[in-house]
Amino acid sequence: MSIGQTFLGLLEATPRHGYDIKRRYDEHFGHSRPVAYGQVYATLSRLLRGGLVEVEAVEPGEGPDRKRYAITEAGVADVAQWLARPEQPEPYLQSVLYTKVVLALLTGREAAELLDVQRAEHLRLMRELTRRKRGGDLAEQLICDHALFHLEADLRWLELTTARLDELAARVRA
Amino acid sequence: MSAPLLVAEGLHRSFGETVALVDAALRIDEGEVVAVLGSSGSGKSTLLHCLAGIVRPDRGRVVFDGRDLVTMSDAQRSALRREQFGFVFQFGQLVPELTCLENVALPLRLARVPRREAEQRAGQWLERLEVTEVADKRPGEVSGGQGQRVAVARALVTRPRVIFADEPTGALDSLNGERVMRLLTEAARDSGAAVVLVTHEARVAAYSDREVVVRDGRTRNLEVAA
Amino acid sequence: MTGRGALADLAMGARMAVTGGREGWTRALLTAVGVGIGVAMLLLATAVPGALDARQARGDARDDLRLGEQVAAGPGTLLVHPVDNEFRGTPVRGRLLRPEGPAAPVPPGLTALPAPGEVVVSPALRRLLDSPDGPLFAPRLGGARVTGTIADEGLAGPNELAYYQGDDRLTDTSGATRLDSFGGGLPGEGLGPVLMLLVAVIFVVLLLPIAVFLGSAVRYGGERRDRRLAALRLVGADTTMVRRIAAGEAAAGALLGVAVGIGFLLAGRQLVPLVTLYDISVYASDIRPPTALLLAVVLAVPALAVLVAMLALRAVVVEPLGVTRRGTPVRRRLWWRLLLPAAGLALLLPVAGLREGDGGVTRWLVPAGAVLLLIGTVTVLPWLTDLLVRRLRGGPVSWQLAVRRVQLDSATSARLVNGIAVAVAGTIGLQMLFAGIAGDFTTASGQDTSRAQVQVQFRDQPDLAGVLRQFGGADGVTAVTGTLSAGANAGSPDGPPVDVRVGDCAALAEFAHLDRCVDGDTFLVSDPRDPAVVPAGTMLTVEDGSRWRVPTTARPAQARPDPAGWMQNAVLVTPGAVGPRVLGPLRTTVYLQLDPADPDAVEHVRNAAAAIDLTTPVSVLSSTIESPRFADIRRGLAIGTVVTLLLIATSMLVGTLEQLRERRRLLAMLVAVGTRRSTLGWSVLWQTALPVGVGLVLAAGFGLGLGAALLRMVQAPITVAWPVVAFSVGLGALTVLAITGLSLPLLWRLTRADGLRTE
């Protein structure tokens, strides 16, 4: 995720102090992984250098939180450009699992076993996410669903591969 | 560890030429939610039917609460299903002529509970499953999600010890499916019922405590340390 | 849409009627057989008047009754003497013939007149003569030789017993009629108004249910058909096309049914000659539905099928993803439903008396009223079902399931039950009428069968002793008395009439209460209703003009009805009092008592009578006169009702089975959740019993009303024929039980647990 554009987006509504930006960020996007203060100020100074934000006011006193940042016109343009640009879909063409399966087949190991273990692991994670989803608010639910759908896709692949293991084995060993 | 609630061992069952179950086994403890996963035609529905005493396996035994369902008479198994089990299917399970309230009250009435009391208890379950508004409608007049919630209410109304759910969200979109699953598992947990959940969808299976995979009629029981 | 497209749609529908695997075939066959049965019965009904007409025409062609007109003897004349009698309850038409010249007419069915001592018989009579029972009839032919068979055109029907016998002793003074040709007599009588009424009502009672049955037969497999139409919508058929396809399918099935029906009729009419009803038998070739009516049936039945299919489609919306019922059923309005029965009653009530000779409007009012009343059951029933069922609540689960099912679709159940209701209402009404009329007709005849069971009267047979000997020797005769009698007038030939009867004391005791009697006594008997005592010593003028004086020793005696029920002013004379004189032409009256254990005794008596005089009538006495034809009609109606109910029951059974099959998944699910099968079985029972019960209640009400109206019309006392009501209700109950019983095996099979395995 592009943390820079996210900060710009948070500043577009209203100028904020650094700690305010961090709090907002954690609230919406941090979830299990809050952003570090160091990361916040490093990012802000990068944006400042690029002319995308400016320091709107400096309050008297000690500490790094005296500056209030505001977005510049260039910054607004940057956010708009970022939002309008579609994300490159993940091609998922490099799969560790696929490599593992082929290797297992080549080395005469139990590939089905490997897939079952993987499935159980996927399901374990899905179960955990489902549990979190139950307790969580809408944001939490949407985030978990995103993960769940991806995991489900993996599981489908596992299912399909399991069903076609014999075919694959024949081809790999040919 | 306490004695399991429902244990199946060495189940074999074929329908004519088609072999549906081969040496299938399963155990379910009191109050747990077990997902039975498998692709279509894997034999998972047959496994559920055997566990619930709907279908008699060709070989093997199914022990519920210390009693073997396989050796029971038809009437005994009917009584067991009526009193100890609840059922949710994919669709077509509500009697179209009866109102939703009457549908939910049906298992109680079959168990000889007086109509007034049965309908009152049915009303409480409709409320618990957030479908009070459809009480007086017929199944044909409610949405799929509402219908499934009515079906869940009906499965729970007798306070069964096991609920058998066969693709309960199969005909629903994700949002309604999730809602039904949430209500089903929560309500089951609250009333202490175990759930056997047959599905081919991983996201539905994720509502379980543990899963059993059926492939080509065989069960694969992978216990992964949580 | 082009005409060609429309045709293609119809053809597609027609193909769909017969394709669709085993199930499709079963359905098509069911429809065809159902419609076929209905069509065959309709055609049979339309053929009945024609068959009776053909029979009547043959009867007219051989008519030999001549009233009044005298034909002079000539080379082209023939003397005919009817010698009709009976054999074991079946009438026998016999004619003695004597040609008076070479050009004498030959009756239809004969190629030449039988010579004296020869007889030509009908095939049925020939079979009788050739059978072991032949000797019991043969004496009545006077030893004549059978030389030929009467052809079909000379007989009323295939089972008629008839013969023409040559007899050169006939004279025109012995009671024979002189003819110069056969036929040309008075045309046959039409049906009287009462019979007209009966025929009309019977037709309605039997045909309306068949119409109802046809209506449901063309809808066999309806729900499945709807689903298929939905599939057609999915692949792009619009509603108009779907309508046309459905029409094509319905018409094709119905046409198949019409073909089957005509086949049934052709096969069935071969059986017709085997049946004799009300002494009537008809030839297979007589059963010929009039072309216009045949055409009407052939066109009307497919039209009805299409109409029913369209009406059914109107009630549902066929969408690509399935068929939904259109909204909630409308509340049924009562007023127009009551219109028909009210109009019927209005027509019936003013007609408070119906007698022969009532013509014109009255003649049509009654059948029309009866028909309207009966059709009224059809219109009122759905409303009544709805009304009664809508309020039902509670009860056990099986009851609840059944009630809700009927509530949801009371129209379908009512439709099926309509037929039963009409049939039962009509049956009750008619049977009530018959019971009433039968009471009317079963009157005491005044005949005393404890004294004699048979009376034989000879026209001119003074040899009483010989007659008594002849009868006394007949098998099964236990007692015989005989008297000779002549008509006389007191004083001059214009004096008051009095009967002179000669016989022994035992024989005379049948005509008067005699205190004591020895040969030589004479008794003066007067009829208390018309006392005209002839004083002793009166001079009597006997028929032929000879005179005889009543002895002065004659004593009065109290008259007694003779075994035939007659009482007359008479002079009873023992042979000793009249001496060897012959009193004019004497009639012989013989009373016989028969062995009740010998049912053929009367046949022996007939043979004995024929041995004395071939033209002598033999009367069987009976204390009551029950019109046997009403017994026959009642039996026929009962059979018709049972057959009709069977038809409708079949149709209901098919409906129930189909419904069960439609609901197999639901049934399997109900069993899966622990529903007892008995609960489901009971629910099927209630589901059938509920509408049938309502239908029967309504039918009983309307039937009793109709019966009362009909009885009032023929001026018979109104009595409720409870046995008929009980019979009808019992039949209804039996229908319900049969339908339930026959659907249980399927229910059992469908509720086997693997019913859930349908995905």
The CATH number covering residue B24 comes to 3.40.50.300
Asked whether residue B172 is assigned to any structural domain, the reply reads: yes
pLDDT reported for residue C1: 47
- Token pair of C398 as six digits: 């099986």
Task: Decide if B93 is inside a domain.
Answer: yes
B182 inside 8 A of chain A by CB: yes
Q: Is residue C480 part of a domain?
A: yes
pLDDT value at B225 more than 50: no
Closest Cα of chain B to A130: distance in Å? Answer: 6
Least confident of A37-46, B65-74, C432-441, C487-496: C432-441
Mean per-residue pLDDT, C191-207 = 65
Cα–Cα distance, C283 to C272 (Å, whole number): 7
Could you report the per-residue pLDDT of C313-327, keeping only the tens digit for each?
776 666 666 666 554
Q: Is the pLDDT of residue C56 over 80?
A: no
The C-alpha of B79 sits at a distance from chain C's nearest C-alpha, in angstroms, of 6
Q: Domain range for residue B169?
A: 6-218
- Give the domain extent around C546: 454-624
**Assigned domain for C377 exists:** yes
State the Cα torsion C684-C685-C690-C696 to the nearest 10°: 130
Euclidean distance between CA atoms B225 and B222, whole angstroms: 9
Cβ <8 Å between B203 and A162:
no
Q: What is the C-alpha separation between C305 and B47, in angstroms, rounded?
A: 47
Same structural domain, C606 and C633: no
| Structural domain includes residue B223 | no
Report yes or no on chains C and A touching (3+ CB pairs under 8 A): no
More confident residue, C738 or C197: C738
Q: Is the dihedral of CA C247, C248, C249, C254 positive or negative?
A: positive
Confidence band, pLDDT 50/70/90 cuts, at residue C662:
confident
Residues 394-413 of C with CB under 8 A from B: 394, 396-397, 400-401, 404-405, 407-408
Is B72's Cβ below 8 Å from some Cβ in C?
A: no
Per-residue pLDDT tens over the stretch C110-160 = 888 888 888 888 888 888 888 888 888 888 887 788 888 888 888 877 888
Mean per-residue pLDDT for C302-313?
79
User: Would C185 be classed as within a structural domain?
Assistant: no
SS3 content of chain A, % helix, strand, coil (to 5): 70, 5, 20
Q: Report the pLDDT averaged over residues C426-451.
A: 70
Could you tell me if C620 and C633 lie in one domain?
no
Sign of CA dihedral C727, C730, C735, C738: negative
Whole-angstrom distance, CA of residue C502 vs CA of residue B201:
116
β-pair type (C570-573, C497-502): parallel
- Candidates B182, C583, C357, C697; CA nearest to A144 is B182
Distance CA(C48)–CA(C43), nearest Å, equals: 9
pLDDT band at C759 (very low <50, low <70, confident <90, very high): very low
C756 and C731, same structural domain? yes
Q: Do A127 and B213 touch (CB under 8 A)?
A: no
Q: Indicate the number of domains in chain B.
A: 1
Q: How far is C664 from chain B (nearest CA, A)?
A: 10
What's the rounded Cα separation, in Å, for the pair B126 and B106?
13
ipTM of the complex: 0.80
C381 and C262 within one domain: no
Question: If pLDDT is split at 50, 70 and 90, which confidence band does B80 have?
Answer: confident
Q: Is the pLDDT of residue C619 over 70?
A: yes
CB C387 within 8 A of CB C329: no
- CA of B2, closest CA in chain A: separation in Å? 24
Sign of the torsion angle spanned by Cα atoms A65, A66, A71, A73: negative
Query: Which residues, in sequence order, are CB contacts of A72 under 8 Å at separation 6+?
Result: A51, A52, A53, A54
pLDDT at B163 over 80: yes
Find the range with the poorest average confidence among A138-142, C1-5, C567-571. Answer: C1-5
Residue B5 has pLDDT above 60, yes or no: yes
Across B43-52, B100-109, C31-40, C676-685, least confident range: C31-40
- Characterize C98-125 residue by residue with b for buried, 16 or more Cβ atoms within 10 angstroms of its Cβ, and e for exposed: bbbeeebbbbbbbeebbeeebbbbbbbb
Please tell me which residue, C492 or C588, carries the higher pLDDT value.
C588
Higher pLDDT among residues A50 and A31, named by residue: A50
Chain position carrying tokens 């039950």:
C417
Closest-CA residue in chain C for B105?
C397
Give the pLDDT confidence of C361-403 residue by residue, as tens digits: 566 677 778 778 888 887 888 888 888 887 777 778 888 888 8
B202 with A149: Cβ contact below 8 A: no
pLDDT for the residue numbered C668: 82
Highest mean pLDDT among C205-209, C660-664, C697-701: C697-701
When CB atoms are compared, the residue of A123, A162, A163 closest to B211 is: A123
In the predicted model, is pLDDT for residue A134 greater than 70?
A: yes
| B144 pLDDT higher than 90 | no
In this prediction, what percent of chain A has a pLDDT beyond 70?
A: 94
B224 touches chain A (CB under 8 A): yes
For residue C289, which phi and psi values (nearest 5 degrees)?
-60, 140
What percent of chain B stands above pLDDT 90?
25
Does the distance separating the beta carbons of B224 and A120 come in below 8 Å? yes
More confident residue, C117 or C283: C117
Same domain, C134 and C118: yes
User: What is the nearest CA distance from A128 to chain B, expressed in angstroms?
Assistant: 8
Res C441 pLDDT > 70 = no
Q: Do B226 and A124 touch (CB under 8 A)?
A: yes
Q: Verify that C101 and C117 share a domain, yes or no.
A: yes
Task: Answer whether C759 sits within 8 Å of B45, measured CB to CB.
Answer: yes
- Do residues C436 and C356 both lie within one domain? yes
C140 and C281 co-located in one domain: no
Within its chain, how far is the Cα of C732 from the centroid?
23
Mean pLDDT of chain A: 84
| pLDDT confidence bin for C72, thresholds 50/70/90 | confident
SS3 (DSSP) at C471? helix
Mean predicted confidence (pLDDT) in C543-550: 77
Q: What is the mean predicted confidence (pLDDT) over B34-62?
A: 87
Q: What pLDDT, on a 0 to 100 scale, did the predictor assign at position B127?
A: 92
Inter-chain contact B95–C397, Cβ cutoff 8 Å? no
Task: Please tell me whether residue B136 adopts helix, strand or coil conformation.
Answer: coil
Residue range A49-65: average pLDDT?
79
Identify whether B52 is part of a domain. Answer: yes
Taking residues C63-74, report their average pLDDT: 72
Q: Is the pLDDT of residue C465 over 70?
A: yes
> Looking at C114, C144, C179, which one is the last position of a domain?
C179
Phi, psi of C755, rounded to the nearest 5 degrees: -60, -25
Partner-chain residue, chosen from C397, C404, C756, that has the shortest CB–CB distance to B110: C397
* Torsion region of C327: left, alpha or beta (phi above 0 gives left; psi -120 to 50 gives alpha): left
Which chain A residue lies closest to B202 (C-alpha atoms)?
Answer: A152
User: Do the strands B194-199 and B59-64 form a parallel or antiparallel pair, or are they unpaired?
Assistant: unpaired
Contact: A152, B224; criterion CB under 8 Å: no
- Nearest residue in chain B measured CA to CA from A125: B206
Asked if C674 and B15 come within 8 Å (Cβ–Cβ), the reply is no
* Interface test with chain B among A127, A142, A157, by most B beta carbons within 10 Å: A127
- C162 and C257 together in one domain: no
Which chain B residues are Cβ-neighbours of A156 within 8 angstroms? 202
Give residue B66's Cα distance to chain centre. 20
Alpha helices in C663-676 (DSSP H): 664-672
Size of interface A-B (CB pairs under 8 A): 43
The answer to whether B213 contacts A152, with C-beta atoms less than 8 Å apart, is: no
What sign for the dihedral angle of Cα C602, C606, C608, C609? positive
Q: Provide, rounded to the nearest whole percent, the portion of chain C with pLDDT above 70.
A: 80
Band of pLDDT at residue C650, cut at 50, 70 and 90: confident
For B46, which residue in chain C has the nearest alpha carbon?
C757
What average pLDDT does the segment B95-119 reach? 87
Residue C755 DSSP class: G
A147-167 CB burial, b ≥16 within 10 A, e <16: ebeebbebbebbbebbeebee
DSSP string, C215-244: HHHTTTTHHHHHHHHHHHHHTT--HHHHHH
As a whole number, mean pLDDT of residues C200-227 equals 69
Residue from the list C404, C666, C672 with its beta carbon closest to the beta carbon of B87: C672
Q: What is the mean pLDDT of chain C?
A: 76
Residue in C674, C754, C756 closest to B81 by CB: C674
Residue B126: its pLDDT value, please?
92
Picking from B58-62, C162-166, C197-201, C651-655, which range would have the lowest pLDDT averaged per residue?
Answer: C197-201
Per-residue pLDDT band at C585 (split at 50, 70, 90): low
Decide if pLDDT at C720 tops 70: yes
Domain count of the fold of chain C: 4
Among the residue ranges B162-166, C22-26, C44-48, the one predicted with the least confidence is C22-26
Q: Do chains C and B touch (3 or more CB pairs under 8 A)?
A: yes
Comparing CB atoms, the residue among B203, B220, B224 nearest residue A148 is: B203
If asked whether residues C105 and C215 sit together in one domain, one would say: no
Chain A residues touching B209 at Cβ < 8 A:
127
For residue A171, give both structure tokens.
Answer: 């081809």
Q: What is the pLDDT of residue C361?
A: 58
User: Could you tell me if residue B24 is inside a domain?
Assistant: yes
Looking at beta carbons, which residues of chain B come within 8 Å of A148?
203, 206
Do both C427 and C475 map to the same domain? no
Each residue of C325-342: pLDDT tens digit? 554 555 556 677 788 888
Give the end of a domain, one of C603, C624, C645.
C624
Q: How far apart are CA C364 and CA A45, in angstroms?
A: 111
Task: Identify the top-confidence range among C129-133, C265-269, C354-358, C555-559.
Answer: C129-133
Mean predicted confidence (pLDDT) in C270-287? 69
B225 is a domain residue: no
Q: Residue B198: what pLDDT? A: 92
Residue B1 is assigned to a structural domain of this protein:
no
Q: Is the pLDDT of residue B195 over 90?
A: yes
Across A23-32, C255-264, C272-281, C643-652, least confident range:
C272-281
Nearest Cα of chain A lies from the Cα of B145 at a distance, in angstroms, of 19
> Does the residue B224 lie in any domain?
no
B207 touches chain A (CB under 8 A): yes
The DSSP bridge pattern shows strands C522-526 and C570-573 to be: antiparallel
* Residue B224: band (very low, low, confident or very high) from pLDDT cuts 50, 70, 90: very low
Q: Is B201 on the interface with A (CB under 8 A)?
A: yes
Beta strands at C522-526 and C555-559: parallel, antiparallel or unpaired: parallel
Q: Is a pLDDT exceeding 90 seen at residue C423?
A: no
Whether residues B224 and A155 touch (CB distance < 8 A) is answered with no
Contact residues on chain A for B182, CB-CB shorter than 8 A: 134
Out of C600, C624, C648, pick the residue that ends a domain: C624
Q: Tell me whether strands C555-559 and C512-513 are parallel, antiparallel or unpaired.
A: antiparallel
